Amino acid sequence: MIKASLRGLLQRKLRLALAVIAIVLSVGFLSGSIVLGDTLNARFAGLFSTINENVAVQVTAKDPDAAEPARLSQADLDRLSRVDGVAQASGDVSAEGVIPFRTDTGKAVTAQVGLAAGVDSRGDTLGLVELREGAWPARADEVVLSANTAKLAKAQRGTQLKVFVPQLGEARTYTVSGIAGFAGGRDSLAGETLVMFELKHAQELFYGTTGVYASASFGAASGVSQDELKKRIERELPSGFKAQTGKEATEEASNALGDSFGIFTIILSAFAGVAAFVGIFLIYNTFNIIVAQRSRELALLRAMGASWGQVIRAVLLEALVVGGFGATLGLGFGIAVGVGAEALLSNMLGVDLPSGGVVVSMWAVLWSYVVGLIVTMIAAFIPAVKASMVPPIAAMRETVRPDKSLLGLSITGGAFLVPGAGLVALALTGIGSATTLVLAGGVVLVFLGVALLSPLLAKPVVRLLGWLLGRGQAGKLGVRNALRNPRRTAVTAAALMIGVTLITTAATVAQSFKSSIEDIVGQNTGVDIMILGPNTGPPNGEIGFNPAALDEVKKLPGVTDTAAWHITIEAAIAGTPAFISAADVPTAKRMWQMQEVGGQLRTLGAQEMVVDDNMAEASRWKAGDQVTVGIGQTSKKYTIVGIYKRTPTLQGPILGLPAVDDFAGKLAYQGFVSLDDGADVAGTVAKVEDIMSDYPGVTVGDMSSFARQQSQAFDVLVNAITILLGVALLIALLGIINTLLLSIVERTRELGLVRAVGLSRGGVVRMVGVESVLISVFGCLLGVTLGVGLGAAFVKALIDLDFMSKFALPWANLAVYVGAALVFGVVAALWPARRAAKLNVLEAIAYE
């Protein structure tokens, strides 16, 4: 029995190959994304162990995010460096967001991270940074650059270099006194820029006073272990500080970075998950067809006395072999994909990370076999049970089984669809905290529901499409073939539907955003020019521009009003994280035409705020109420003095300008400019740009260019999503090819017959092509419909939250998708149609 089934397997090389390809693709991208994430993490771990290579113990503030974080004094550092077993000591003075300007173009250097440090004449005693040429900075106006920084800024020793220092809120000019590199001959650790100031100057710049350090690192004398040194240093620690071994510090840092990279890995895994989900359809369909085609053979075995169990076991054994083989190949493919993607990504981001080797974690292996093996076995089991329930004689007589009722299937579909839609609705109204999970679960249920209902839809829709596309006799035969097994057509189409749905949803939401923005721009609020902060990091007061720069803007001809907008996301309102602004409310009211709904929109004093009506309603606040507002590490009671009408551009809590003292920095993140009617907008934009050129990453534009920029950002997002879903689409394409090929095998005799009664090769190609296009366009239409529906649900939720103002259909995109589906269908048909056309007529007729 086992031998018989294994031999049966090998005789069907084509079908076997198709099943294996289905599994390899689904498994490959899932394991690939896991391998990518793990390998990237290993690289970062490698980065931090390089940084901490000579560090035995690190002393840091227990609470570095405090409003007034604890600092080490020179005396503390001196005391700690005299601890027995300390070989080297280095006090750390450092900052982020310090950005050099290019000497050739005058533009800010765009690197992922702009680091700064303070060094004295001894340089880095722990040996991470090595001076390559020149001298360590000896004066307040000297800096040493890392080789990467020098390269990016086009600076050399002796160059005058403009450097933006966020603590100053402006750029200053320094003389480059030397160029440094990193241990091991590297120009940067990970593509960042590094500007090193003279120690005392750095302390003053970053901490406001000399002789203090944020943290310190210590090297151990030979024979003293990290743990031992940590114990000794702990005895001497000043309060508010903690000691960690170099190893612990490395782990902590790479975990923190891994977490921020985690979101990226999660997004990627989500897309890989979609691909695997689509792959499950493909695997299921493949096995379903294969087992159905073998039902005659299985019936023969049964007639010869094989038991029900034996037949099922034989099929399962096949699935086990194919699934195991496919999963293993898929895992190998996934590793290759992961490694390739990692190289590509590092290259694209310009991140020059130390290699951490390829990491294949247990999860990658586990998921590969879960998807590859278990899904395959389930996919084979269901049709095997069905096949074994057909009486042997009926199966052997090859009676064309009459259409089975789709009622049960449709009811099951409804049973998935309704709760799925319910979950989506629930998630979008924002009840409960596990919103993303509820949403994902809801969407999966909706997909399954629609997939189960799709055979019911297949008949009318394919008939209609066939009436449009199936011209000529060959076309008509293709339409009949697409209709003859609605389940097969539907499952194949449903695989395509999933990708198209997600893309359409994204396009619909994006289009709605875009037309909402256009509406706002059209609404002429009185704001003519916008100044936007850099997107290098989250706004917290440390990035942006000095609001004093707006005084200069105000002096420009034609400018009637300016408003500085301070924003921080390091904030909480009544305990929940929030995005807080601080601004002069009367100016904002004038420029944005804010409507007073309650209280008063007046100049705010310390601990006074206004909120939007939506928020007030949701939290049952009214003017006069007190609310706790946390900014950074501070927490204060604020009085609500006014409530304004929320708009898509203006929303959330607005504090008075005195609150900016509690922000991490005093930089404004956005600025708004009003002009006289008839003022020269483009000319003024250029002048404002000039004023803002000292602030890295700050962009200036009129309202329409802002709208254009936003639209482009959405287009980029939709394109990125489309590309990431490309794998899912590719698998769906393969699914169509698969179904067609298997159907052709099944219909060999019919192909011979139509050829015998005069259908030409071209006719056969057209017949297969029409079937393929019908499947593909049907899947696309399902996806577009479902995607527009989901998109509308999202848009409704976003409109309720006032993030956008209207729903708009992405007509152009939809047309492109349907057009692409046509092409997709033709491409999918190429190979199967060739195979069908090449069949020898006589052999096809005699085919058993």
Partner 1 sequence: MSAAARAVDVWKVYGSGEAQVIALRGVNLEVERGKFTAIMGPSGSGKSTLMHCLAGLDSVTRGEVAVGDTRVTGLSDAGLTRLRREKVGFIFQQFNLLPTLTAEENITLPLAISGRKPDKAWYDTVIQTVGLGDRLGHRPSQLSGGQQQRVACARALVSRPEVIFADEPTGNLDSRSGADILGFLRRSVSEFGQTIVMVTHDANAASYADRVIFLADGRIVDEIENPTAEAVLDKIKSLDTLAVSEDRVEVAE
If one asks whether residue 833 binds partner 1 (CB under 8 A), the answer comes out as no
With respect to partner 1, which residue has the nearer C-beta, 473 or 647? 473
Would you give the distance in Å from CA 63 to the centre of its chain? 31
Piece of the chain touching partner 1 by CB under 8 A; list 407-415, 613-621, 798-806, 839-847? 839-847
Q: Which is nearer to partner 1, 118 or 763 (CB)?
A: 763
- Give least dist CB 342 to partner 1, A: 50
Residue ranges in 744-773 that form contacts with partner 1 under rule CB under 8 A:
749-750, 753-761, 763
Which lies closer to partner 1 via its Cβ, residue 91 or residue 455?
A: 455
Q: Per rule CB under 8 A, is residue 399 in the interface with partner 1?
A: yes
Percent of the chain as helix, strand, coil, to the nearest 5: 60, 15, 25
Does residue 395 interact with partner 1 by CB under 8 A? Answer: no
Return the residue matching tokens 């005396």: 75
CB nearer partner 1, residue 122 or residue 749: 749
CB of 484 to partner 1, least distance (A): 5
Q: How far apart are CA 726 and CA 197, in angstroms?
A: 48
* Of the residues 304, 348, 400, 407, which one makes contact with partner 1 according to CB under 8 A: 400
**Minimum Å distance from CB 780 to partner 1?**
24
| DSSP secondary structure code for residue 620 in this structure | T
Helix H or strand E segment including 52: none
580 vs 759, which CB is nearer to partner 1? Answer: 759
Measured in whole angstroms, how far is the alpha carbon of residue 263 from the centre of its chain?
A: 7
Question: What whole-number distance in Å separates Cα of residue 731 and Cα of residue 275?
Answer: 7
Sign for the CA dihedral angle at 227, 232, 234, 237 comes to negative
List the interface residues with partner 1, window 443-482 (CB under 8 A). Answer: 472-474, 476-477, 480-481
Q: From the CB of 371, what's the least distance to partner 1, in Å?
A: 35
Least distance from partner 1 to the Cβ atom of residue 483, Å: 7
Tokens 């069908």 identify what position? 836
SS3 659: helix
- Nearest-CA neighbor of 648 among 565, 601, 703, 592? 592
- Smallest distance from partner 1 to CB 848, Å: 11
Q: How large is the greatest C-alpha to C-alpha distance in the chain, in angstroms?
A: 101
425 near partner 1 (CB under 8 A)? no
Which single residue is written with the structure tokens 């394409």?
733
Q: Is 94 in the site for partner 1 (CB under 8 A)?
A: no
User: Which residues, in sequence order, are bridge partners of residue 144?
Assistant: 178, 196
Tell me the sheet residues that pair with 643.
598, 611
Tokens matching residue 766 = 């057209």
Letters for 310-329 (x = contact with partner 1 by CB under 8 A, - = none) are --------------------
Tell me how many residues contact partner 1 (CB under 8 A): 27
Residue 221 vs 756, nearer CB to partner 1? 756
3-state secondary structure of 629: strand
Neighbour tally for 224: CB within 10 Å: 18
Helix (H) or strand (E) holding 582: strand 576-582
Q: Which two tokens stand for residue 529?
A: 């020019």
Q: Is 402 in the site for partner 1 (CB under 8 A)?
A: yes
**From the CB of 13, what's the least distance to partner 1, in Å?**
22
CA distance 648 to 497: 32
Residue 487 in contact with partner 1, rule: CB under 8 A: no
User: Whose Cβ is closer to partner 1: residue 481's or residue 738's?
Assistant: 481
What SS3 class is residue 758? Answer: coil
Q: Are 592 and 520 in contact (CB under 8 A)?
A: no
Q: What is the smallest separation between the CB atom of 304 and partner 1, expressed in angstroms?
A: 24
Does 715 sit near partner 1 (CB under 8 A)? no
Residues 685 and 671: beta-carbon distance below 8 Å = no
Candidate segments 94-102, 125-133, 396-404, 541-549, binder of partner 1 by CB under 8 A: 396-404
Q: How far apart, in whole angstroms, are the C-alpha atoms of residue 35 and residue 39?
A: 6
Residue 742 C-beta: closest distance to partner 1, Å: 17
**CB 708 → partner 1: shortest distance, Å?**
53
Min dist. Cβ of residue 398 to partner 1 (A): 9
Q: Name the site residues for partner 1 (rule: CB under 8 A).
A: 399-400, 402, 472-474, 476-477, 480-481, 483-484, 749-750, 753-761, 763, 841-842, 845
